Structure formats: structure tokens, C-alpha cells
Amino acid sequence: MADTEDLKKERVENGNLEKLVALQTIYIKDVSFEAPNSPGVFLETEVNPETKINLSNMHTKVGDNSYDVALKIKVESMYGEKTIFIAEVEQGGVFTIKGYTEEETKSLIAVFCPNTLFPFVREVVASLVTKAGFPALLLQPINFEALYSQAREEAEEEKPN
């Protein structure tokens, strides 16, 4: 078996069940960049932009043990009522996940997969913004485990007793 950093494999002693998480492929599903007020925004002085980031994670089962996971990010930079730029990137990856319980699989899809995809999304966004003539934008790391825990807690609170 190939020894790659994309592959996590371990043996479980009870029943010798094999657990596997492997990245099969990574790809850009969608990318969009708009700078509707260019070149005028480059001539502005005293601009204090407000940058908003919207992040979502989606997945689709594409085979017995295969999942297409997509991490979508929208970065919108504005000053006043004017839009400086809008960058949207949807990064996809196909992951093989087998040998895990349903809850463990959900956790892997919500935490491990986005953690794997995020550096690719960050690079595409940074490249788009810089190539459009704007100062570099470095997206800070995101704690997907904390986001998943928070979402689970909120779902538990919403369940009727």
C-alpha cells in the first residue's frame, strides 16, 4: 500500500476492522471575482474597508464509501456603500471514508475534510485578490472542530424534549 500523507489507515483490534480516510482528488468547483468599482477604487484615499467572510461546507455521497465535500467561501470587501471586491471560491474534494460509525463519518466530513480543503481555498482567494491589484488578503486559520461542536450544541438545544 502506498504511504502518502493523504492517507490515514489504522487497524482496530476488535474484528480487525480497517478504518480509512483518503483524499482521492481535489478540484475547483466554482470561482468568481468581481471588482465593480474598478478602477475608481484605486484612486480613493482614506479607505477603511470592511471585509465580510461567509463560509459553508456541503457534501454529497458519490459512492459506497466516497463523499464529494465542498468548502465554499465568499469574501466581500466594502467601504461605505461601495463594493471594493467580491471573491467566491468553491473548492471540492472527493474523500474515501470507510470503517467509521455514522457519527464519526459526520465528524470527518465536517472537520477533517474542510481542514484539508481550506489551504487550497485560502491560496485561490489570496491569488485572485492580489492579481486584481488589491493588497494581499490572508485568510486566518479556521477551527472547524469548534464550528462543528457549536453546530451540534445548537442542534441539541433546538430538539424538542
pLDDT in tens, 126-161: 999 999 999 989 999 999 999 999 988 888 888 776
Write the CA distances from 3 to 7, 8, 71, 112, integer angstroms.
7, 9, 26, 19
Count structural domains, the chain: 1
Q: What percent of the chain is modeled with pLDDT above 70?
A: 89
The b-or-e profile of 14-27 (16+ CB within 10 A means b, else e) is eeeeeeebbbeeee
> What's the CATH number where 143 sits?
3.10.420.10
Is residue 48 included in any domain, yes or no?
yes
For residue 119, what are the β-bridge partners? Answer: none
Q: What is the dihedral of CA 62, 23, 141, 33, to 10 degrees?
A: -60
Continuous H helices in 26-143 = 40-43, 102-107, 113-131
* Chain segment 13-65, per-residue pLDDT in tens: 444 468 999 999 999 999 999 999 999 888 888 888 999 999 999 999 999 99
Task: Please state, in angstroms and rounded to a whole number, the distance separating the CA atoms of residues 57 and 118.
Answer: 11
Q: Look up the pTM and report it.
A: 0.83
CB 48 within 8 A of CB 79: yes
Is residue 52 included in any domain, yes or no?
yes
Q: Mean pLDDT of all residues in the chain?
A: 88
Q: Please give the residue range of the domain that contains residue 131.
A: 22-158
Is residue 14 included in any domain, yes or no?
no
Is residue 99 included in any domain, yes or no?
yes
Task: Please state, in angstroms and rounded to a whole number, the distance separating the CA atoms of residues 33 and 36.
Answer: 10
